[in-house]
Amino acid sequence: MKVLFIGWNRLGDAVMSTALLRHILDEHPDARITLLSGPVAWPILQPTPNLERGIVVVKQPMKRHWLSLLREFAGTRWDLVVDLRDTLLSRIVRAPRKMIKHRARVPGPILRELGEIAGTDLPWPQVWLDPAEERRAAELLDGKHPIVTVGLGASKPIKFWPVDRYVELASRLRPLLGGDPWFMTVGSAAEAEMSRAFLASVPENRRIDLPAIAPRIEFQAACIARADFYVGNDSGHMHVAASLGVPTLGIFGPTDSQVYGPFGPRVASVGVGAPGETGVIERVGVDTVFEAARALLARGGRP
C-alpha cells in the first residue's frame, strides 16, 4: 500500500492530521507513507510509523516547489493520495483513490472535515513521540510531580491571554494540585521573555523554562506528555497536549473554540462568552478560566 500524504505546515493542523494518518494505518498496517510537510510541522510528524520518506516542502516563488515535485513523482503510481492542501500535485499524480480536502467556505471543526474526506468518523488525533526525545524528557522531569504546563504563546499576539492573568491563575491552581506543583512553560525561543515573566512568580525550585532551555517542539511534546495539566492559548502546543491525553484547557478570544478548540479525551475550552462567540481575549476573566480548570481536573486525569 503506497501512500502519498500531503500535509499542512501549521503545527496545530499537523497534530489534527494525525487522526487521518492513524485511520490509514489502522486500515492498512502495511502502508508505506511518503509524507510532504512544511518545515514548522515536520518535527512533530517525523516519528510517524511506516514512514518510507519525508519531504520538507519549502515555499518558492511562483509555486516552483510543487513543480519540482511534479517532475519527481510524474511516473510514480500510488495506491492512495491524501492532499490536505488541495494542490495541483494530487490532481496530476496517478492513484485509484484520492482524499482531497478542498477549502471550506465556512470552516468547521477540522476533525469533522477530515472525517468527511475519509468517509468515516476518525479517532482522536494523537502525535507520535520520538523515543530519543522521550528519554531526554525523562532525564529532565523524572521526580517532578505534579506538573502544570502553561502555553503562553500562539501564532499571533491577539491570541495571547495576558501574562499577569496566568500568574493569578497559577496561584489559584496550586491548591487543586497538591499545593506545590511544578510549572513548565512551553513555546518558541521568541516567547522566552513571556516565559521568564510568568515564572518569576513561581518558586525557583518549581520552574521549568522550556522556551529558554529547549525550544524544539519534538522535545517539548515529549515533556508535555509527562504533564498532569495543560492550560494555554489557542496554539499548536495546546493541540499537542490534547492529543497526548493530558487534561487540556484552551483559552480563546478572536478564534472560535468550537472550530479550533482542542480535541482529545480530556479537554475543555473557555472564550469570551457563549459557545461560538469571539472577541478580544482580554474579555476572558481569571474566574472563568479557574472554574473551567477546576471542573476539568474534577473529571480525573488521563484516560
pLDDT tens, 75-89? 899 999 999 999 989
Examine the pLDDT at 303 and tell me if it is beyond 70: no
pLDDT at 73: 87
Specify the amino acid at residue 118: A
Q: Which domains does the chain have, with CATH numbers?
A: 2-118 (3.40.50.2000), 131-298 (3.40.50.2000)
Model pLDDT, residue 106: 58
Q: What is the mean pLDDT of residues 186-199?
A: 97
Pairing of strands 32-37, 51-56: parallel
CA 183, 187, 191, 192 torsion: positive or negative?
positive
Among 242, 180, 232, 239, CA closest to 211: 232
C-alpha separations of 162 from 165, 174, 257 in Å = 5, 19, 18
pLDDT of residue 276: 86
Task: Give the Cα separation of 244 and 259 in Å (integer).
Answer: 20
Compute the residue count for the chain: 303
* pLDDT for the residue 260: 93
Q: What is the DSSP letter of 225?
A: T
Question: In whole angstroms, how large is the CA radius of gyration of the chain?
Answer: 20
pTM of the shown model: 0.95
**What is the rounded average pLDDT of the residues 230-250?**
98
The pLDDT, as a whole number, for residue 22 is: 97
pLDDT tens digits, one per residue of 119-152:
999 999 999 999 999 999 999 999 999 999 999 9
Model pLDDT, residue 302: 60
Specify whether the CB–CB gap between 153 and 194 falls below 8 A: yes
Among 198-207, 274-283, 293-302, which is the least confidently predicted range? 293-302
Secondary element (H or E) of residue 292: helix 286-298
Q: Does residue 173 register a pLDDT over 70?
A: yes
Instruction: Of 133, 153, 143, 158, give the one whose Cα is nearest residue 235.
Output: 153
Q: What is residue 193's three-state secondary structure?
A: helix
Mean pLDDT of the chain: 94
Distances (CA, A) of 73 to 76, 84, 94, 187: 5, 18, 9, 36
Q: What is the pLDDT of residue 48?
A: 98
- Say which residues have a Cβ less than 8 Å from residue 32's Cβ, sequence separation at least 6: 1, 2, 3, 50, 52
- Distance of CA 25 to CAs 29, 55, 78, Å? 5, 19, 16
Residue 235 DSSP symbol: S
Residue 103 is predicted with a pLDDT of: 79
pLDDT beyond 60 at 195: yes
Distance CA 300, CA 60 (A): 47
pLDDT of residue 105: 59
